[in-house]
Structure 1
């Protein structure tokens, strides 16, 4: 007897391996899967503008990266002594204007260099509702707790999303002829919009993505993270404490489905091999400084060096100069190997 509905996900013609150069934009799925990809040593540029929810803000961020036009003081606004960018998530905000610009530029410059060499864009739409800054007419990525009277709020239509993204994908194809875009819809419900409004919003996003898949059948694909969460994992035990976001178990499950869909057996084997090394490096010893601990460190370094030798296309530069700190915490710290 089967007590749940299984979402059938066929193996994709998009194959992702450790040589694939990816950029991820959007909300829940992009952030969660992006962290998993980063942990597994894939080449990932994850949300260089921070979490974004609506299709127009995501589109604007990609266009800004393509233009490589840097951010300046004129792009910032302030509220209650904090400087913000209306295109960015609050993680970039700071009481110090220069620090805010530094936070923005740090990720922006690297992403602007990477975007024209990106093979695959993973884009997650969260909501079709947008907030428009009345002063400039700009659709913002985040309201940063400014008064609501400063914004116009409205819902994008299927046609508006399709039209603007069709233009963007056409431009991307001119720069990267074989570019692929993998779209998802975030399963996180935007409850403040209202139950009915949230459903309409998600429907708009699904229809727009379906249109884009019809227009660009060689370039656009859809991964049903939304359907897995809503239908296959519909029980509340698969949700976090807020009853809106997926639990860590649900994220792990969807990550497994993602791998089954896009990874080859070899890629999954490499992932497992690296996972064991990463777990060893995160291990906290009970008795640091003992012979057993030193042997463990030596063994871990040997595995790391073997991994770097066997897979030279996977960067281990961030780990190869790490040294076991020992002491009570037993963490890795950056220090030249002796």
Structure 2
């Protein structure tokens, strides 16, 4: 494995960095303060191809590798983690499973719209009574002639209310447990799909988290993704992709926090000297940099192995576990260095600190990642 980025990787990263600094960063505070979904930014991201980074070119995507993908999510997250979340969900949890499990007809019909930003996608697995225990979901899909009738509720669904395509998981054969779960490509809006109020969180504001209900929602049989009973497998595969994106998001949060801490420590003076002259501050900054580089190496390694097809589920799990811990630790350390100024509303570090926590929760909590890693270790 070559740890050096290729010229193509660096060029693409720099292009995304420019987009993030010019288009995302100037509106990041407004997105957070107003919990505002950034329609204009997402439209521009779609025109750049960022909603289909890893979608093959023949289906309207950029056809980039996973290393390019994590570099892009990291750069966007430095400007706005919530914008990065919207882009990550569309890439990891909608386009990727559609590429991997979809029929040729599904890929031809849906991917060009999703990869271009004409459509936006959502991933609907979590329910009010089914979070970590995804196999216990209660949403049902009953066959009726050439359709399935879906009933149930979903919760914490990113991009909801803006989505034109929702990947919904439901039980087609409840008596079979996880082997009775199937996946469906649901078009929105639909009168049988009732969205509820936006869920306001402490961080990731503007990413449009919502709950919704399905009341006798009719879905054509050709909109099943994969085969009946393969939904749980598709969900787990998709979450592995999602974890890689969230790891990159967490890395971007940490990197942005370190940059702000470095700038402040160099300019802020106390006792007649810049803070950066004090060994205590120097050591804290050094530890922050070490932690970021460790997380970055693990993320790149996971992306490389997943691209080559040699990864196990523990690779993205390790990357997400470490990167989310680093995001919380480094953003907290940065806030400590900035002191009162970092604690104030309007400070980027204050926002990053709030945004960081969710990276330990979604796409599987940190303890779920530990379960995955331990299971892999013990199966050798």
Tell which has more relative contact order, 1 or 2 (C-alpha 8 A, sep 6+): 1
Return the index of the structure with the highest Cα Rg: 1
Same fold (TM over 0.5): no
Say which structure is richer in helix. Answer: 2
